[in-house]
Structure 1
Amino acid sequence: MATKLKSVVLTVGLAAGIALLGGTPATAETAPGCSRVTQIGATKIVKDNRGNTVMSVKQFLGCDKNYGYTWVWESWASTHRGFTAGAGLYVEGVLKGYNVDPANDREVWSDGLHTVDKCTKGYGAAGRGGDVTWAGETEKRC
């Protein structure tokens, strides 16, 4: 009984400590101008030539629009200062709604496009000086 009580106290203590350090669960991504979006399709993970994760690329649906989304991972960003990242959508094979955020901004949304009746893929890119060094696409969703 004493061992069980110690285990419960330890678990509750750890949970409280994590909460105090800001370890609460992450909230879902929210697109500019659309407060409720849902991810469609799988996340594309883009890695560099050493196997380090550079970014995640996703596609979202909300407010009768599709959105591309890029999230640059902190572990990569912290060792690659001066990068830029972009997000867009391939709409029936053509890149549209592409946005590039300022240097070192880890989260980028494409423009929201009224393309829910078309085949689309999320697109994300990262690099330096305007060059695209790493890029990835999500699966096509129709």
Structure 2
Amino acid sequence: MSTAVRSLTALAAAMALVLGLSLSTASPAQASPMCSDAYQVKGTVYIYGDQSTPVASLKQFYSPSCGQNWGYLWVWQWALDAGYWLRGELAVYVQNETLQGTVPLGRYQEFYTDAVPGYGKCTRAYLSASIYGPNSSTSVEEVTAWGC
């Protein structure tokens, strides 16, 4: 490698650090399976595990035109960069029924459940997972508030 290329590579890395940019390769974003009018139901649940800063965010969405619900999990970039990942499942819990739309978790940044019929039903997003970090692991079970 030439001296000029090495110098430019070092300069780019230094600028990225100064600007707070990550040089790691992020997991590709998953295309949203939600209908275009989907909106968030109730509030966001922050997933901490054994950290003081959230590792992930859990949300539920509903689409009036499709009559469908989705659970959604976003793993924060700082956590991915630090080597955190989740193993478990994301689902939508339909009141007086079972978990539906269940999807497995892995080494990605975002997850969507399969679409779950939600019109006229009370639903909530559900997460059951182990959070693995560089030096620890923690089990979590979280749900969003009921959306009825």
TM-score band by shorter chain is 0.5 to 0.7
Q: Does 1:95 align with 2:96?
A: no
How do residues 102-117 of structure 1 correspond to structure 2 at under 5 angstroms? Answer: 103-117=106-120
CA positional deviation for 1:127: 2.7
User: Is this contact kept in 1: 2:90–2:104, CA < 8 A?
Assistant: yes
RMSD, aligned α-carbons = 2.8
Aligned to 2:143: 137
- Normalising by structure 1, we get a TM-score of 0.66
Q: Does 1:120 align with 2:116?
A: no
Unaligned runs of 5+ in 2: 1-18, 20-29
CA positional deviation for 1:132: 7.9
| Aligned counterpart in structure 1 of residue 70 of structure 2, from 40, 43, 67 | 67
Change over 3 Å in CA distance of 1:109–1:36 after alignment to 2: same
CA positional deviation for 1:30: 6.8
CA positional deviation for 1:116: 2.0
Aligned to 2:16: none
Q: Deviations over 1:71-101 (max 9, x none)?
A: 1111112223554364211111532111014
CA positional deviation for 1:52: 2.6
- Normalising by structure 2, we get a TM-score of 0.64
User: Is this contact kept in 2: 1:87–1:125, CA < 8 A?
Assistant: yes
User: Is this contact kept in 2: 1:40–1:61, CA < 8 A?
Assistant: yes
Calculate percent identity across the aligned residue pairs: 27
Count of paired positions: 113
User: Is this contact kept in 2: 1:86–1:108, CA < 8 A?
Assistant: no
